[in-house]
Structure 1
Amino acid sequence: MPISEYYKQLRGKVGTELIVMPSVAAIIRNGDHEILFQYSGEGEYWSLPAGAIEPGEAPAEALIREVWEETGLTVKPNKLLGVFGGKDFRFTYPNGDQVEYNVFVFQCTIVKGELCPVDGESVDLRFFKEDSKPKIALPYPDLIFKNVPLADVYYQWDEEWIKK
């Protein structure tokens, strides 16, 4: 579903003003180690299968739901790759809604299903090689797209935070 009742009600109160939105995104690879991206049909940007965390949901639970809604795949979250946010993760939708995402990015394994969007948010779902990924809306660090063992969690931070 493009926007849940919870976020619809919130938008009814704040309009298009900036809201901070807890969310999840998935790195899903096929047998050729390509990464799944989705295209909504609006603008030039692709995205990872992703979405908002609803009230009462754990991040992994939201991830499983969102991936199924957007791709028709059931996945198992295997590892938290990182938690990203801040002003670089702000996005304005074509309708003017402004969000600043705090994103939990998980590495996932496909459990079952076939690529077929359920909620109508995706007009194209495609696997891309790591070195030819499409232009994406959010500035995820390149490290999360690498097919190499990673530390348990990659943290985005800035030396300036220490000086404050």
Structure 2
Amino acid sequence: MSASKYLKHLREKVGILPLMIPAVAAVILNERNELLLQRKTDGSWSLPAGMIEPKESPAQAIVREVYEETGLTAHVERILGVFGGEDYSFTYPNGDQVDYTIVLFKCRVEDENTAPRDRETESLEWFSKTSLPELALPYPLACLFAENTDGYFDKT
């Protein structure tokens, strides 16, 4: 996730201390039920995802993030789940700590021809359920392949 001016401003105030970050992620499946993932420049695998910017709705954020990271225009179909907590805490290589609350969207795209538009994406690839690499964040498999129909919400 690229650091926005807003996030940079917050980091000037709190340093590397954990920030609560509202975020979005996209599940995009092709006709072969393969999941689109991005390989980041640090070598990790992720869904197209990112932070919700100030004054931006979650739906607007996921459309923007998918476009920035894949070159695809996303159409939101539904919410698959909302995730957060200890499993969604992350420390970046520079030491910045974040605690994500992530709205996971099922999205469709018109075209499968991807073209990353940002510097954090090394490559984009489609994966089947059986060939899925380890992801940076532990989304439930049923959500990634849109098998859940009622939505998934972290339970305490």
TM-score (norm 1): 0.90
Q: Report the CA distance between 1:47 and its aligned residue.
A: 0.5
Q: Closer, same or farther in 2 for the Cα pair 1:148/1:101, shift >3 Å?
A: same
Percent identity of equivalent pairs: 47
Trace 1:107-118 onto structure 2 (pairs within 5 A): 107-112=106-111, 114-118=113-117
Q: Report the CA distance between 1:148 and its aligned residue.
A: 2.9
Distance 2:87 2:29 in 1: 26
Indicate the residue corresponding to 1:161 in structure 2.
none
Q: Which amino acid aligns with 1:154?
A: Y
Trace 1:52-91 onto structure 2 (pairs within 5 A): 52-91=51-90
Distance 1:67 1:138 in 2: 17
Whether 2:18 is the aligned partner of 1:18: answer yes
Indicate the residue corresponding to 2:154 in structure 1.
156
CA contact (8 A) 2:89 2:100 kept: yes
TM-score (norm 2): 0.94
Distance 1:67 1:102 in 2: 18
Indicate the residue corresponding to 1:5 in structure 2.
5
Question: C-alpha deviations, 1:106-143, integer Å up to 9, x for none?
Answer: 00000357311112110011010012211111111122
Indicate the residue corresponding to 1:50 in structure 2.
49
Distance 2:35 2:145 in 1: 10
Q: Secondary structure at the match of 1:63?
A: helix
Q: Which amino acid aligns with 2:24?
A: V
Distance 2:153 2:142 in 1: 11
Q: Secondary structure at the match of 1:131?
A: coil
Q: Closer, same or farther in 2 for the Cα pair 1:121/1:84, shift >3 Å?
A: same
Question: C-alpha deviations, 1:67-95, integer Å up to 9, x for none?
Answer: 10001000101010000001111000111
- Which shifted more, 80-89 or 140-149? 140-149
Q: Closer, same or farther in 2 for the Cα pair 1:149/1:142, shift >3 Å?
A: closer
Distance 1:120 1:30 in 2: 24
Gaps of at least 5 residues in structure 2 are none
CA contact (8 A) 2:40 2:120 kept: yes
Gaps of at least 5 residues in structure 1 are 159-164
CA contact (8 A) 2:24 2:58 kept: yes
- Which shifted more, 17-26 or 130-139? 130-139
